[in-house]
Structure 1
Amino acid sequence: MRAPTAWPDVERTPAGLRARVAAVVADRLFRKAVRTLPIRVEYPDGTVLGRNPADRDAPRMILHRPADFAARLGTGGLIGFGESYMAGDWSAPDPAATLTVFAASVETLVPAPLRTLRRLYVARHPVAERNSESNTRGNIARHYDLSNTLFELFLDETLSYSSALFPATEPPPRWADLAAAQRAKIDRILDRAKVGPGTRLLEIGTGWGELALRAAERGAVVRSVTLSTEQRALALDRITAAGRVDQVTIDLLDYRSVEGEFDAVVSVEMIEAVGYDYLDTFFQTIDRVLAPDGRAVLQAITMPHHRMLATRHTYTWVQKYIFPGGFLPSTRLLRDVVARSTGLVVREELSMGEHYAHTLRLWQQRFNSHADQVAALGFDSLFRRMWQLYLAHAEAGFRCGYLDVHHILLTRAGAN
Structure 2
Amino acid sequence: MEFPSRSVSRPTAPTWPDVETVPTGVRARVAAAGAEYLFRRAVRDLPVRVELPDGALLGTDTSDPTCPRLILHRPRDFFARLGTAGLIGFGESYMAGDWSAPDPAATLEVFAARVATLIPAPLQRLRRLYVARHPERERNTEDNTRDNIARHYDLSNEFFDLFLDETLTYSSALFADLATPPSLTDLAAAQRAKIDRILDTACVGPGTRVLEIGTGWGELALRAAARGATVRSVTLSSEQRALAVERIERAGLSDRVEVDLLDYRSVTGDYDAVVSVEMIEAVGYEYLDTFFAAIDRVLAPGGRAVLQAITMPHDRMLATRRTYTWVQKYIFPGGFLPSNQLIVESVTRSTGLAVRENFSMGPHYAHTLRLWQQRFDSHREQVAALGFDPVFRRMWRLYLAYSEAGFRCGYLDVRQILLTGAGQRERPSR
TM-score by length of 2: 0.96
Q: Which residue of 2 aligns with 1:2?
A: 11
**What is the CA-CA distance between 1:55 and the residue it aligns to?**
1.4
| Among 240, 247, 266, the residue aligned to 2:256 | 247
The residue identity in structure 1 corresponding to 2:179 is P
Q: Which residue of 2 aligns with 1:280?
A: 289
* 1:160 is the counterpart of 2:169: yes
Q: Which residue of 2 aligns with 1:199?
A: 208
Contact 1:221 1:247 in 2 (8 A): yes
Give the Cα separation in 2 of the matches to 1:259 and 1:107: 42
Q: Which residue of 2 aligns with 1:332?
A: 341
Q: Which residue of 2 aligns with 1:179?
A: 188
Mark the CA change 1:3 to 1:382 in structure 2 (over 3 Å): closer, same or farther: farther
Contact 1:301 1:405 in 2 (8 A): yes
Contact 1:262 1:294 in 2 (8 A): yes
Q: Which residue of 2 aligns with 1:346?
A: 355
Give the Cα separation in 1 of the matches to 2:297 and 2:217: 26
Residue by residue over 1:350-409, the C-alpha shift from the partner in whole angstroms, topping out at 9 and shown as x without a partner, is 000000000000000000110000000000000000000000000000000110000000
Instruction: Please give the secondary structure, in 2, of the residue aligned with 1:134.
Output: helix
Q: Which residue of 2 aligns with 1:214?
A: 223
Instruction: Please give the secondary structure, in 1, of the residue aligned with 2:88.
Output: helix
| Among 350, 362, 387, the residue aligned to 1:378 | 387
Query: Which piece of structure 1 moves more, 173-182 or 90-99?
Result: 173-182
Mark the CA change 1:126 to 1:4 in structure 2 (over 3 Å): closer, same or farther: farther
Instruction: Please give the secondary structure, in 2, of the residue aligned with 1:135.
Output: helix
Instruction: Please give the secondary structure, in 1, of the residue aligned with 2:418.
Output: strand
**What is the CA-CA distance between 1:175 and the residue it aligns to?**
5.0
Q: Which residue of 2 aligns with 1:50?
A: 59
Mark the CA change 1:3 to 1:355 in structure 2 (over 3 Å): closer, same or farther: farther
Give the Cα separation in 1 of the matches to 2:38 and 2:276: 42
**What is the CA-CA distance between 1:4 and the residue it aligns to?**
4.0
* 1:74 is the counterpart of 2:83: yes
Give the Cα separation in 2 of the matches to 1:105 and 1:289: 42
Contact 1:3 1:383 in 2 (8 A): no
Mark the CA change 1:209 to 1:174 in structure 2 (over 3 Å): closer, same or farther: closer
Q: Which residue of 1 aligns with 2:7?
A: none
The residue identity in structure 2 corresponding to 1:9 is D
The residue identity in structure 2 corresponding to 1:144 is Y
Q: Which residue of 2 aligns with 1:107?
A: 116
Residue by residue over 1:131-158, the C-alpha shift from the partner in whole angstroms, topping out at 9 and shown as x without a partner, is 0000000000000000000000000000
| Among 302, 316, 319, the residue aligned to 2:311 | 302
| Among 316, 320, 323, the residue aligned to 2:325 | 316
Q: Unaligned stretches of 5+ in structure 1?
A: none
Any residues of structure 2 matched to 1:21-32 within 5 Å, and which?
21-32=30-41
The residue identity in structure 2 corresponding to 1:147 is S
**What is the CA-CA distance between 1:206 and the residue it aligns to?**
0.1
The residue identity in structure 1 corresponding to 2:372 is W
CA RMSD after TM alignment: 0.8
Contact 1:201 1:262 in 2 (8 A): yes
Give % identity: 75
The residue identity in structure 1 corresponding to 2:337 is L
Give the Cα separation in 1 of the matches to 2:340 and 2:382: 39
**What is the CA-CA distance between 1:107 and the residue it aligns to?**
1.2
**What is the CA-CA distance between 1:173 and the residue it aligns to?**
1.6
Residue by residue over 1:61-104, the C-alpha shift from the partner in whole angstroms, topping out at 9 and shown as x without a partner, is 00000000000000000000000000000000000000000101
Residue by residue over 1:210-233, the C-alpha shift from the partner in whole angstroms, topping out at 9 and shown as x without a partner, is 000000000000000000000000
Q: Which residue of 1 aligns with 2:198?
A: 189
TM-score by length of 1: 0.99
Give the Cα separation in 2 of the matches to 1:399 and 1:383: 24
Instruction: Please give the secondary structure, in 2, of the residue aligned with 1:408.
Output: strand
The residue identity in structure 2 corresponding to 1:31 is R
Contact 1:167 1:175 in 2 (8 A): no
**What is the CA-CA distance between 1:174 and the residue it aligns to?**
4.0
Give the Cα separation in 2 of the matches to 1:225 and 1:321: 25
Contact 2:13 2:387 in 1 (8 A): no
The residue identity in structure 2 corresponding to 1:75 is T
Q: Unaligned stretches of 5+ in structure 2?
A: 1-9, 426-430
Give the Cα separation in 1 of the matches to 2:212 and 2:245: 14
Residue by residue over 1:274-296, the C-alpha shift from the partner in whole angstroms, topping out at 9 and shown as x without a partner, is 00010010000000000010000
The residue identity in structure 1 corresponding to 2:64 is D
* 1:361 is the counterpart of 2:376: no
Give the Cα separation in 2 of the matches to 1:101 and 1:22: 24
Q: Which residue of 2 aligns with 1:229?
A: 238
* 1:39 is the counterpart of 2:48: yes
Contact 2:95 2:394 in 1 (8 A): yes
| Among 78, 85, 89, the residue aligned to 2:98 | 89
Instruction: Please give the secondary structure, in 2, of the residue aligned with 1:266.
Output: strand
Give the Cα separation in 2 of the matches to 1:90 and 1:117: 27
**What is the CA-CA distance between 1:3 and the residue it aligns to?**
5.0
**What is the CA-CA distance between 1:5 and the residue it aligns to?**
2.9
